[in-house]
Structure 1
Amino acid sequence: MAAPTTSAVGAAGMGPGQTGDTGASTSPGGSNSQSTVKAIGKTGWYDGFDITVDKATVVPDGSGGARVTIDITYKNNTTDDKMISVTPTLQVGDQIDGGADFTDPTVPGKGSAAGTVTTSVKKLGDAGHLIDTLTLVYGPASANQTKIPLKADAKVDSIQPKTLPITGTLVQGHTTVQVTGATLTPSYTKDERGKMELALHVKLIGGGDISDGGANIFTEYFSIKTPDGQSLVADQRGFIDELLDRNQTIDNPKDLATFVVASPGTGAYVLSYDATKGQTPAATLAVTVN
């Protein structure tokens, strides 16, 4: 939607400020007479994406105001084509600019695509100061937000996901479960601020004695004991639903035993696999997250 000329940015752009911009020119009357382009080069992380704010551009409109454009690169770290799951917000000082317009692309799996944020100011003062007041915010306050301020000396507030070199084997009956890797990422679910998602990829191998019709492997067969002694059943957000035949190997990249754990998520865990609902001892694997 088009940004109104009375957006919150208008007030922010009227104050004095320092600028390290390039391409700015000031007329004798004190207003910018040509575009101001400022390289940003800051990255945050959200919902499987690396989000890099590349630059911000302020273009005077000839009527004392200006158009502001923020260029963003979205790098999709998942294997699915996807768009970021939330509409970000543009914060101006401590106010939300309700008139900002976001172009959020659908990004190919493991690919990158460009996005933009645009808004207008009714009255432009110092373009460099205006850019310095802007912050991009991804996610609600009740979740793990990502905040990317455009001011050069302001730090990005974001948790970088980790890829973990965790491997191991669990055997119960005629089923072998191989853990082939893991990730530790912030939860972006509402009301889970301060929580992390520990996701372990599992490869399933069926033995030669699996009965006709195969063996079902479900999410709830996996559980974990946390460093503080809690026992957690795998969450359905890492959905596992496989039918394993004898002598079959299933190596599905989406088979993730996922657990919602307290931040920072590091420490010693014990992973369990039990397809018998306690009728036989569970297979276990010690897991250390650094």
Structure 2
Amino acid sequence: MERVVKPKNQRVKRALERQEAKLIENTKNALFFRGTHSSEVVSMLLKDFYALKKPDAVVFQRKNDVRPFEDASKIEFFSRKNDSSLFMFGSHSKKRPNNIVIGRLFSHQVLDMIELGVENYKSRQSFKLEGNILGSKPCLIFSGDQFETESTYARLKNLLIDFFHGPTVSQVRLAGLDHVMTFTVFEGKIYCRNYRISLKKSGTKVPRVELAEVGPSVDFVLRRTQLANDQIIKEASRQPKATKVKTVKNVSRDAFGTKLGRVHMKRQDFSKLQTRKLKGLKQTLTQKRTSGSRSHSRTTKTH
């Protein structure tokens, strides 16, 4: 059973309220930490991804004796302690050189973990241009059929979106789009590239878009995986009923956002419809007699 913590003062009470379940979740925090054996490449890569994730990130300066695939209890403890549901762990060994593990947790229990090998790494400092602005939302682009056809790559795509998509907003300012992250699968490798968006004058209302690489630039190799089954994923992604938008009958929107309505009416008798009175449309005496005789015959049949 989970231990129930009673607040001793108002500060602890506010901290516990921030960690309670909410209808609209806060932006997910991410943990960045290293194992007992690490390399300079792994340390620099963690710093670069930490800079991309800020301010919703926590970094550990000291090394930690953690082995995610053997025992995830320490990761779950760090997650509960720092109220984080995402993590990136770096390590280095002879068997698995320059190794990182990306994972996420549900209810402070490890949900998914994917291990990636680091190759051809270039830090942000090796590029001339500066990176993204603090707190900006990146545009995520995924290229490659394997992201759609293979289950492991599809789960990796979902994990990367969960990791880097940032806060949920209703509107995005065009000038605020300054960062693009691309992930491309080709010949068993995942190529991660980062670009800075520049809007130039084009002589029209639509600006001319230019991309300049800013780093980090890295090639990933897929290694070990530990993925949750579909039932747990369904439970973790379940939405409460209060947040679901209620559908209104006979009201819809087209591709351009125009609101369309459908009105249902009873069948009308057009013979009794009041129209403009014109001499040419008036019934003659014989037409009135024939219409009257028809209505009289109908009433006699019904009786």
TM superposition score category, shorter chain reference: under 0.3
Larger fraction in strand: 1
Larger Cα-atom Rg: 2
TM-score, normalised to structure 2's length? 0.21
TM-score, normalised to structure 1's length? 0.22
Larger fraction in helix: 2
